[in-house]
Structure 1
């Protein structure tokens, strides 16, 4: 049977967690972030996570099933907070919300860079387990549907495919940053460029805004290659 990731605030059966269960899960995720930041994913065991979070190893396996699934759930929880921040940054849905998403991903990544680098590994290695597709289908899909209704995008724009491609752009962008291929100051611009390039073939009334986002991001990224002086 295909494993499915755990949703934030819900048990495997889809029921909402009790306050005690939610507190325990947040404690576990905090231990995961702390331990993998200090030691890396490979060096951290379920036993170490259990000891640090104050639960039994059996409880961890009962809840998450495996270490990979636990790491994926921790990444999902962190990503859910990114979308919440994006909505707070831009109450206006549609294109402004997607730009805010790029800025939120960059902001959360750079606020705790060591943790972000550590979590980039399980996200990329076990993307299907993270459940990020659900987050992107919901939040990015909603923004894209608003853009369709506004005429920002052409009516034939494939919403599900574009939401998936935006997801890949955000994940790979953070992955390139984690490897040092994208610098801290470049991350938000790089993510904006990936977003705009994904949507450009389907832009209609929004073509000038999307084209401008690409040009602006490329100009900012070009600063690295400017001759000294």
Structure 2
């Protein structure tokens, strides 16, 4: 029996095609009609795998979440919780930076997406295992999601034009070098992310030390 010229339609093929469209042209480029044309199939055949466009975008978002490294939260990993949280955040941002157009969908939260829920479960579980109360572990997970997704939604450096005449020193005396930011976008944006991430982790570490000290005082020096 002759093999079909095109691979049979599958969820993975649809997600791959939709992801490529999102990466190239943005969320508005995705429609069931456009996807069917890209895949060389009839529009209704997509509905054998997804009910609508929103489900397809959810699957694209979850495919990006699946790229996030979670190995630092495994029991066998020697990293302490600040180092694990740092390395996870770097991996998380890298995944979003590679697919910036899907970030608004990811920013809505994991919902029922399996990979997104695994990320949330790993972070929360690691913080509780490290000694954070469940409520505080929830706050930390939310805080990190706000910070990472926010950093991936736009570029500070790209917000400035590369025309040195655009920023008259009479009006903007401190922006004399602002026209150089655009060409240094990656350096500026990654530096800003790392600076903010270190500040967050330093603050959390201080809170953690205070929490441990307070618990020790309440327990008494000779009680375990």
TM-score past 0.5 threshold: yes
**Structure-2 separation of matches of 1:156 and 1:52:** 46
User: Does residue 83 of structure 2 align to residue 91 of structure 1?
Assistant: no
How many angstroms apart in 2 are the aligned matches of 1:156 and 1:135? 17
Match of 2:150 among 172, 180, 199: 172
**How many pairs are equivalent?**
176
Q: Do structure 1's residue 189 and structure 2's residue 194 form an aligned pair?
A: yes
Give the structure-2-normalised TM-score.
0.60
Kept in 2: contact 1:144–1:159 (CA 8 A): yes
Question: Whose relative contact order is higher, 1 or 2, with alpha carbons under 8 Å and at least 6 apart?
Answer: 1
Asked whether the 8 Å contact 2:73–2:84 carries over to 1, the reply is yes
**Aligned residues: CA RMSD:** 3.8
TM-superposition CA deviations, 1:176-208 (whole Å, max 9, x none): 33994694233341562474277356321799x
CA distance in 1, matches of 2:135, 2:207: 6
| 1:23-62 paired onto structure 2 within 5 Å | 24-54=10-40, 56-62=42-48
Compared CA separation, residues 133 and 34, structure 1 to 2 (3 A): closer
Alignment map for 1:1-229 (pairs within 5 Å)? 24-54=10-40, 56-84=42-70, 91-92=77-78, 94-110=81-97, 112=98, 116-124=99-107, 126-127=108-109, 129=111, 131=113, 134-148=117-131, 153=132, 155=133, 158-177=136-155, 180=158, 183-185=185-187, 186-187=189-190, 188-189=193-194, 192-193=197-198, 195-196=200-201, 199=204, 202-204=207-209
Alpha-carbon contact 1:166-1:198 (below 8 Å) kept: no
Determine the C-alpha separation between the residues in 2 that align with 1:106 and 1:65.
30
Structure 2 stretches of 5 or more lacking a match? 1-6, 160-180, 213-224
Q: Secondary structure at the match of 2:49?
A: helix
SS at the partner of 1:42?
helix
- Answer with 1 or 2: which has the greater Rg: 2
Residues 142-198 of structure 1, C-alpha deviation per residue, up to 9 Å, x if partnerless?
A: 2212321xxxx5x57622232122222221121133994694233341562474277
Stretches of structure 1 lacking an aligned partner (at least 5 in a row): 1-19, 208-229
Give me the whole-angstrom Cα distance separating, in 2, the residues matched to 1:157 and 1:64.
36
Do the aligned partners of 1:82 and 1:105 also contact (CA within 8 Å) in 2?
yes
The alpha-carbon distance between structure 1 residues 128 and 80, as it changes in their structure 2 partners (threshold 3 A), is closer
